[in-house]
Amino acid sequence: MRLLDRHVPLFSGSLRTLLRRESDRRRCADSPYAWLFQPYMGDELVALACTVTPSPSSPVISLAAVVLSQQQVHTSRAFVITLGCMKQPESKMLRRHHLLCEAGAVLPPNGDNLNALVEFIGNRPIVGWQLEKRIGALNALLSKRLNFALPNAQVDVARLHQRQLRRLHPEVEAPSSFAQALACWQVPTMGVQSVLGEATASALLYMRLQRVMAQVA
């Protein structure tokens, strides 16, 4: 069984999101990005974590993407970037953002940097905690610069966690925070404050839940 087969019902996406993806697909049909809208036939996924800090000029977005497969999280295959206006004045909020995210210097959100990001992710499914909410600012930026949002199939690990906990312990209220979910399933939390650490922890949590579901199936 492929990694995602049992999780197809958990792909996130409202009707509005699905309609947007179809509109984006048609718009990009004759562009170099057309392949991103094709179904993925492999066994890899990409765990995504994104932190956004508002600023007077434009939001600062720190993002990490980590590849995972059936048996392993490939931290050596990670993409980490911070996007934002390079000339905006430093502030206490931005200093805190850089300190917590550990995602390097701010780079301009231009076509080259965004192209590198979508090329890395490719058309592989993405997993993450509360994905639709967390990548909203990124999708807005992609739509503005590249004329499409991330078209990938998505698995929201928060929904997967809540569903599995209700299945095993219907009397227990599912913890709502990422840290509580990691503790609930005994997933290591070292370095989780950085975007790379969060993406890695999301991948590990996904794999842990996948193993639990296989055991009780």
19-31 pLDDT, tens digit per residue, is 888 999 999 999 9
Is residue 61 within 8 Å of 138, Cβ to Cβ? Answer: yes
Distance CA 91, CA 135 (A): 23
Contact at 8 Å (CB) between 28 and 34? yes
pLDDT for residue 8 is more than 50: no
Rounded Cα distance between 187 and 179, Å, is 9
pLDDT (tens digit per residue) in 33-83 = 999 999 999 999 999 999 888 777 778 899 999 999 988 999 998 999 988
With CA atoms as reference, report the closest residue to 157 among 101, 204, 215: 204
Query: 214 versus 95: which is more confidently predicted?
Result: 214
Among 90-99, 128-137, 144-153, the minimum mean pLDDT is found in 90-99
In the chain, % of residues over pLDDT 70? 84
pLDDT of residue 54: 79
- The pLDDT score that the predictor gives to residue 98 is 66
How far, in Å, CA of 64 to CA of 81, rounded? 7
Q: List pLDDT tens digits, range 136-180.
A: 999 999 999 999 999 999 999 999 999 988 888 888 776 679 999
Is the per-residue pLDDT at 181 higher than 70?
A: yes
Closest C-alpha among 109, 12, 28, 30 to residue 63: 109
**Residue 212 CB partners (closer than 8 Å, separation 6+):** 164, 168, 185
Out of 13-17, 54-58, 89-93, 162-166, give the one with best mean pLDDT: 162-166
Per-residue H/E/C for 144-205? HHHCCCCCCCEEEHHHHHHHHHHHHCCCCCCCCCHHHHHHHCCCCCCCCCCHHHHHHHHHHH
Q: Is the pTM of this model over 0.85?
A: yes
Per-residue confidence (pLDDT) for residue 72, from 0 to 100? 93
